Every structure is written in C-alpha cells, then in structure tokens.
Amino acid sequence: MLNKEEKHLVHAIAEEAQVVQQFVDLLSLEQTALTAGDTDSLPALAEQKSKLAVRLDNLAEQRNMTLKAMGYAADRNGIESWCAQHPAEQIAGDT
C-alpha cells in the first residue's frame, strides 16, 4: 500500500511521461513542417514546445521534491532506488 507521498510520486512520474509524449509528438509535427517547407507553422510550434518545456521543468521539480521528502536522492538514482523498493508499482508505461 502506497502512502500519500508515494502516490504523489507515481502520479507525478506518470504525468511527466504524458507531457514527454506530447513533446515528442510536437517534435514530429515540427519535423513534418520542416520537411514540407511549412515555415509559417514553426513559430506556433516553437511556442508550444516552450510551454511544454516549462511544464516538464515544473513536473521534474515536483518529482525531485517528493523524492527528497521521502529520503531519496532527487535524481535518477532516487527514482531507481524507489522503484527497486516498490517492484509491484507500474509507472509511466511499464505495462
């Protein structure tokens, strides 16, 4: 059973994965526009990328603060340590 902080961490990582996927999809749209020579759409795509980058930064900060509050390193090692201690949890597309 997960405690409140652990549930928050699982939710934060899942949300971060969704935003990363949105960013990847946006990069694909940008690539298509560049290949087609559609330079008119590039400023709007750049603005969307910027917003997603800010969102990703905020989510990473939340994730790291939660890890730190639980006594883990606020980095990849912290996530890996937490996951190793909670193998039953599926996070961010591990299904």
Instruction: Dihedral sign for Cα 8, 11, 15, 16, please.
Output: positive
CB atoms within 10 A of CB 33: 16
What counts of helices (H) and strands (E) characterise the chain? 3, 0
pTM over 0.85: no
Say if CB 92 and CB 14 are below 8 A apart: yes
pLDDT in tens, the chain (95 residues): 788 998 989 998 899 999 999 999 999 999 999 999 999 999 999 999 999 999 999 999 999 999 999 999 999 999 999 989 888 876 654 44
63 burial level (CB within 10 Å; 0-12, 13-18, 19+) = buried
Looking at residue 61, its pLDDT comes to 94
How many CB atoms are closer than 10 A to CB 66?
22
